[in-house]
Amino acid sequence: MKRLIVVGVALIICCCVNASPADICEEIENAFRNSTEQGEIPACRCLPEEMGAMRGSRNYKEEGDGIWIGCTRQNMPSVFRALNSLNETLISHLWIWNSLINILPNDMFAKVRPKILTIENSRVSVFRAGAFGNIGRRLKSLYLKNNILKSIEKQTFADLNALEILDLTGNKLTELKAGQLDNPVYLETLMLSDNQINHIEDGAFKALINLKTLNLANNKLTNITKFVSFSFIS
């Protein structure tokens, strides 16, 4: 009997470990449906990146690879409810677009763990303290294009210890102050084009010792008094 129990447990563990992105997405879709009010359509969808390819043909190196969640034309409460129906689920990419997410609460990502987070064309203007605290160790890329951010608090990106790409293209930023971007120390790409930046404070990029690409095109800069030399920037 004990041997049968051990074998059964081993099989369950094996099935979970070897579950394909499509299988995991099916579980996520069920969670979304269960969190939706009767008669409503789920705010988010899960799609395996292997769709259209032979099932299991890709080699996923880490747990969560190959899983993509998309939420579009929704408001913040609906997206919040959907994402918080999960269970600290590891995924490749969470993409929220063409939605209404003015304020990002500090527990928005309490139950989901993306490597890539995209929130674009969604009128984001405010991040509550700790908004990225739950995903900071896993998140590699953060895309916040075409929102209405006017400023960056010093603690906004403080928890993003593993971040390599930060894209703030197409917002309403007017200045960059020293200390605002100190914490993503592994940042390699910083996109700030198409804002309204007219002033960059001395030392604003001082901590970004790994930066390779910096885009400041289409801003309102007329004079930079002092600039840290990035000989390695492309």
- So what's the pLDDT on residue 4? 42
Residue 214 has pLDDT above 70, yes or no: yes
DSSP per residue, 138-161: T--EEE--SS------TTTTTT-T
User: 198: closest CA among 230, 180, 227, 176?
Assistant: 176
Q: Tell me, what amino acid is at 54?
A: M
Residues 159-208 have pLDDT tens digits of 999 999 999 999 999 999 999 998 888 999 999 999 999 999 988 999 99
Number of H helices, E strands in the chain: 3, 12
- So what's the pLDDT on residue 88? 95
Whole-model pTM over 0.95 = no
CA dist 88 to 49, 84, 121, 131, 220, Å?
A: 20, 9, 26, 15, 41
Residue 19 has pLDDT above 90, yes or no: no
Residue 195 is encoded by which pair of tokens? Answer: 């804002």
- So what's the pLDDT on residue 228? 53
- So what's the pLDDT on residue 197? 97
- DSSP letter at 177 equals -
- So what's the pLDDT on residue 229? 52
- So what's the pLDDT on residue 50? 52
Residue 53 has pLDDT above 50, yes or no: no
- So what's the pLDDT on residue 17? 54
Selected residue with higher pLDDT from 228 and 136: 136
Between CA 210 and CA 215 the distance in angstroms is 15
φ and ψ of 80, to 5 deg: -60, -45
Where do the domains of the chain lie, and which CATH numbers do they carry? 20-124+139-148 (no CATH), 149-165+173-234 (3.80.10.10)
Average pLDDT across the chain, whole number:
87
| Average pLDDT rounded to a whole number, residues 40-65 | 68
Cβ–Cβ < 8 Å for 64, 90: yes
CA dist 226 to 44, 45, 203, Å?
A: 45, 47, 8
Residue 55 has pLDDT above 60, yes or no: no
Residues 83-137 have pLDDT tens digits of 999 999 999 999 999 999 999 999 999 999 999 999 999 999 999 999 999 999 9
Strand segments, DSSP code E, in the chain are 44-48, 67-72, 89-97, 103-104, 112-120, 126-127, 141-143, 165-167, 175-176, 189-191, 199-200, 213-215
Selected residue with higher pLDDT from 202 and 15: 202
